[in-house]
């Protein structure tokens, strides 16, 4: 029986993606994802940051690299992988998330990096959320 190794996270990138290529031209993108969780300290709730190293491989890494910028909110699904090595006679290890699915979510807002100018967002009216009064009372079924 195979064990289960699945991780699902939603967070923000702490830096721009780092895109590298192997000698054979295979793309490898390294991401750093910050995920906040609420913890109670004394009588107040505070955000506690957790940081995760993620790896995205292949054509998806190439295609999405331009959109994976610092501050971008993303959702990922992946598998944990532990690397082990020895350095100066001491055993070392690192756990990374190998991304199998990625969703681009909210951006940082209108600025030069997002590709949307503040003028564009000002000209577009905000979408109104429909209320119960906006719907007819006659339901056909």
16-34 residue pLDDT tens:
999 999 999 999 999 999 9
Mean pLDDT of 35-59: 92
Residue 36 has a pLDDT of: 93
Percent of the chain at pLDDT above 90? 67
Q: pLDDT (tens digit, 9 = 90+) per residue, 70-118?
A: 999 999 999 999 999 999 999 999 999 999 999 999 866 444 444 443 4
Q: Is the pLDDT of residue 123 over 60?
A: no
DSSP symbols for 87-135 = ETTEEEEEEEEEEEEEEE---S-SSTTTT--HHHHHHSPPPPPP-GGGS
* 87, 19 Cβ separation under 8 angstroms: no
Check whether 140 has a pLDDT greater than 90.
Answer: no
Tell which phi-psi region holds residue 16, choosing left (phi > 0), alpha (psi between -120 and 50) or beta: beta
Domain 7-125 carries which CATH code? 2.40.50.140
The overall average pLDDT reported for the chain is 83
Distance CA 117, CA 130 (A): 27
């Amino acid at each position: 029986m195979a064990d289960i190794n699945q991780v699902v996270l939603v967070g923000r990138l702490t830096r721009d993606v780092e895109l590298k290529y192997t000698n054979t031209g295979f793309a490898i993108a390294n991401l750093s994802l910050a995920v906040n969780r609420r913890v109670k300290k004394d009588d107040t709730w505070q955000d506690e940051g957790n940081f995760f190293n993620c790896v995205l491989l292949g054509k998806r890494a190439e295609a999405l690299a331009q959109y994976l910028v610092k501050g971008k909110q993303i959702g990922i699904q992946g598998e944990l992988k532990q690397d082990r090595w020895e350095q100066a006679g001491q055993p070392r290890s690192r756990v990374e998330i190998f991304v199998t699915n990625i969703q681009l979510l909210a951006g940082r807002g209108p600025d030069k990096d997002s590709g949307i100018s503040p003028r564009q967002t000002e000209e577009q009216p905000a979408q109104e959320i429909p209320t119960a009064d906006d719907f007819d009372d006659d339901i056909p079924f």
